[in-house]
Structure 1
Amino acid sequence: MKRETLFLKMAVFLIGIPVLALCIFWLPWFANEAAEHYPKLAYLQYPTLIGVYVTAIMFFVALYMALRLLSYIDKNEAFSDLSVRALKNIKYCAIIISGMYVIGMPVFYLMADLDDAPGIIVIGMVIIFASFVIAVFAAVLQKLLKNAIDIKSENDLTV
């Protein structure tokens, strides 16, 4: 295992562990507290939890794909269709996360309206745009990698 990818793999784990802990311990408690604090929106507790858990699952799938991509780099298979497929999956996960938060923005708006805290909407917008940027970046890398693979295969055929 190469040292550069080992550092990146550790970084992926260090990103995933706190998110997993938040999903297991903090999120159910926060949902109950929010339902008590906003009794008018208590009916949205479980749909919101389901939406957040779907985005968390997509987040962990993207992290897993990043680990697979790093393992392909370790095996000197970075320029392969497997890497393109991993980037494609990361792009789809980021699009799903962005889409789920776009769908959930009315809930953010209702909470901000009841609590008179417009910063809640900003948090939702940051998540939407951050995941959209990741999707665009993954799409660009996917296209560049696909073009590099095509050029490499053309060069291999002419030799």
Structure 2
Amino acid sequence: MNRKVNLLRAALVMIALLVAFITVIFTIQFFSEGKVPLFVSSLFVSFIVVVLLGFRVLFLLAKILSYIKKSEAFSMKTLKVVSSIKQTILAMSIVFLGILPFFYTVADQDDAPGFLVIGFALVSIPFTVFIFSQIVEELFKSATELKADNELTI
């Protein structure tokens, strides 16, 4: 069990490093441009806020891994962390709406309405993850209640 938790923790670190690398590249690209249009600025701000919220989710996932390592996977502490992850993903979903002006402007300039559909698809991904996180929260809630009932029975 300890090896699996360490492997998952290493995967979280690798994801964090990859996201940080991509963020640095986009930031350098954004600031190396001259004057940028407003829709590109909204895309950049949305991207940075989503990255920061994503790092918060990675931190909370690492916290869950530490609870798993301590054999406290189904406790109220874990349930609170899962709830925090759900709220952070909802915030990411709302902030992700900031990229829609970019897709609209590009689709309008290039006369490519399919590009706007791609934008809506990208925006709908965090909402889908939010719904999945609600399901996971309910599963953790049920498992925590079952564990508490079993501890009272024994």
Instruction: Give identity over the alignment, percent.
Output: 29
122-131 vs 56-65, greater mean Cα deviation: 122-131
Cα pair distance change 1:31/1:107, threshold 3 Å: farther
Question: 1:71 is aligned with what amino acid?
Answer: S
Question: Taking structure 1 as reference, are residues 66 and 119 closer, same or farther at Cα in structure 2, changes over 3 Å only?
Answer: farther
1:77 matched to which residue of 2?
72
Q: Deviations over 1:1-36 (max 9, x none)?
A: 711112211211221212111212323414654956
Asked whether the 8 Å contact 1:32–1:45 carries over to 2, the reply is: no
Query: Would you say 1:115 and 2:110 are equivalent positions?
Result: yes
Distance 2:60 2:51 in 1: 14
Give the corresponding residue for 1:3. 3
Instruction: Choose from 92, 100, 105 the match for 1:97.
Output: 92
Instruction: State the alpha-carbon separation in 1 of the partners of residues 114 and 9 from structure 2.
Output: 33
| Maintained 8 Å contact 1:9/1:67 | yes
The AA in structure 2 aligned to 1:24 is V
Greater than 6 Å deviation, 4+ residue runs: none
Aligned equivalents of 2:70 and 2:142: distance in 1? Answer: 20
Aligned-pair CA distance for 1:109:
0.7
The alpha carbon displacement at 1:117 in A equals: 4.8
Alignment-mate amino acid for residue 131 of structure 1: P
Distance 1:70 1:157, change over 3 A: same
String of CA shifts for 1:59-109, please: whole Å, max 9, x gaps.
111111111111111110101112112211221222122212224312321
The 1:145/1:118 distance shift into structure 2, 3 A limit, reads same
Aligned to 1:147: 142
2:7 counterpart letter in structure 1: F
- One-letter code aligned to 1:96: A
TM-score (norm: length of structure 2):
0.83
Segments of 5+ residues of structure 1 without an aligned counterpart are: 37-41
Amino acid of the structure 2 residue aligned with 1:94: I
Q: 1:88 aligns with which of 65, 75, 83?
A: 83
2:55 matched residue in structure 1: 60
Q: How many residues align?
A: 154
Q: Which has the bigger relative contact order, CA under 8 A and spacing at least 6?
A: 2
Between 2-11 and 113-122, the greater mean CA deviation after superposition: 113-122
Give structure 2 stretches of 5+ with no counterpart: none
